[in-house]
Amino acid sequence: MYGTFTNLLLLLGVAVILVWAFRRIKLPAILAYLCAGIIAGPHVMGWIAEPDDYHLIAELGIVLLLFSLGLEFSLPKMIAMRRWVFGLGAAQVLGSLLVFLIAAFLILGNWAAALAVAGALALSSTAVVIKQLTESSQTGTRRGQMTVAVLLFQDIAVVPLLIVIPLLAGGGDGNIAYSLLMALVKGAAVVAVLMAVGKWILPFMFGEIAKQRTDELFVLATLMVALVAGGLTHLFGLSMALGAFLAGMMLGESKYKHQLEADIRPFRDILMGLFFTTVGMQLALNSFVQSLHWVLLIIIAMAATKLVIIRYVAKLMRERDRDAWGSSISLFQMGEFGFVIVALAGSYNLLSPEVASVLVGVGVFSMALTPLVIQKLQPLVSFVVREPDSSGDIEQHLQQQGSADDDNPVLICGFGRVGQTISRFLDAEGIRHRAIDNDPLRVKEATAGGAPVFFGDSAKRDILRAVGAGRAPLIIISFADDLRAAEVLRQIREMNSDAYVIVRSRDDLNLDVLHNAGASQVVPDTLEASLMLISHVMSRSGIPLRRILARLDQERRDHYGAMHGFYPGSSTTLAAENADKLELLHAVNLPERAWAVGKTLDQLNWEHFHVKLKALRRDDVEISEPTSDIELRPGDVLLLSGKPRHVEATESWLLRG
């Protein structure tokens, strides 16, 4: 017992260090967990001699991940996605199975063994792909939904594979067709039960729990629902992940959706990390190095097969090239169910230890590559897809409208909800404008309604030139994607240095980046919402309207300078990539023997530490503008504003020197 505890502690320590190091160099945490598993596994340090002992607990991470994903997909959305699930998903699985089956039979000479290899390679990683799509906010995109649809069909396809392989190996009794039919009947029955429970019982249950206003009870109920749903489908021969997804989907239409997701996230992330460590534990480094050429060859062949099948089937279904390629690239890897199939085939002596070791290497290595590939998905798709330049079409359409040579209108980049609202107000005031958006469905609907919007990517210079960005006096970037907005800004400034460019941002993390890229004014959603609330409060407090408007205008002209900095809370996310962008407020209480006691403010070099002294409190009275000659005393409270690491360094300096 003591040895087990020590080994787990060592594994946890390695995982903490590696996740910290990988995040510092901006690599995905999944890679850190895989490396931690390799180090702690039986083939390197041997701290965890039997990884299978932890597999069930680790699989709960996948269950909670799929439950969270289900919350994002309502039943109507899933019905609308049936064409992708049973069309694109079925084509990918069956097509890949056929190709891999023939290739494996030519090499191994055994149909049962070939089916095991084909089944392992045909499936992709639900855990890795969905986690990365979620973190990169791509699950709501069209290619993200196509990817999820294919993964759902793969989860269903695991069931017949797990039934057929033992029967072909002679390890099962009964007829294959009968076994598959019974699995289908049981699967349909359990899905019907889950949907009925989710529709009629779960909303009532959570309604009663919510009335108690007990956070612990709500968390327990959420975990219980996810695990019971997963356990029920597992009992009937389906994957646990599929049951959890169905339960989440049923609750996705309820008013408790966001609370459920927030409650389950900490458990999900920790257990997902444990799952990836168990995957890493399965890799034997010596065998992997010796068979690296085979591993790489199989990964290339596997990726090429899936890419071709998904891309061309999606094209036949009239999907855009970008979405088809994006979905196919995301699914190039071998998945976690591949390990299950390899282990099952090995238990029936269908695969030799050498072949099984190569397949495990393929699985671990391809899953390790996946986060990097999905991180770079946008550039990869842009490199592969050479879409025809639509700038000529835009120019031709403008000429047909007789507006190509008119006075220069306002340009709106992005025609989402914010862009459409801006357009309506400009219309009401008779201000000419045009917009550009890269969502074909939105453009089709908007143009049918008479909106002056054109299809195109606002980050492409030719398209910007076609819509008149080089002459427009006022340009609004209305989508809240700071990295993309910075790229659009650079293209705009190369052709139009005089335009006044207003950029929307979600918060103030990237104000400097956007201003340096050429923004005339950045409008952060969170700070503007604060200003609107402030204006209402001041108005209700009897302050004259002119004074309110002057104060708001001053804040905007100062780029929200007085509003930077906030007190962090337990829900504040201080991710590595955001730590140097946030500006926090922190109160430092000077004890009796603090180094700064007895020194005046002008003796302290604040600029050296890149922080600002916002206020000084003495005897519970705030000195909002302390003079430089004021001497610090024990018990004084200094309110500092700055980036987290600078504030920490300054606090240490004030206390210890």
Three-state DSSP state, 218: helix
pLDDT digits (tens, 9 = 90+) for 584-598: 677 888 888 888 888
pLDDT of residue 77: 67
pLDDT of residue 387: 56
Question: What is the set of domains in the chain, with CATH numbers?
Answer: 1-41 (no CATH), 67-384 (1.20.1530.20), 391-519 (3.40.50.720), 584-656 (3.30.70.1450)
- Separation CA 562–CA 484 (nearest Å): 27
pLDDT of residue 534: 82
pLDDT of residue 402: 44
Collect the ranges in the chain with pLDDT lower than 50: 389, 400-406, 570-571, 574-579
Distances in Å between the Cα of 37 and the Cα atoms of 49, 273, 278, 338, 364 are 11, 10, 6, 18, 11
Q: Mark out the alpha helices in 72-175 (DSSP H runs).
A: 75-80, 82-83, 89-108, 111-122, 126-135, 142-168
pLDDT of residue 565: 55
pLDDT of residue 404: 40
The answer, as to whether pTM is greater than 0.85, is no
Pairing of strands 584-589, 637-642: antiparallel
Are the CB atoms for 298 and 121 separated by under 8 Å?
Answer: yes
Within a 13 Å sphere around the CA of 527, how many CA atoms are in the beta-carbon half?
A: 23
- Separation CA 396–CA 41 (nearest Å): 63
pLDDT of residue 225: 86
DSSP state, residue 408:
P
- Separation CA 455–CA 447 (nearest Å): 10
**Which residues 6+ apart lie within 8 Å of 464 measured at CB?**
436, 458, 470, 488, 491, 492, 495
- Of 152, 323, 157, 154, nearest to 248 by C-alpha is 152
Buried b (16+ CB within 10 A) or exposed e, 68-84: bbbbbbbeeebeebeeb
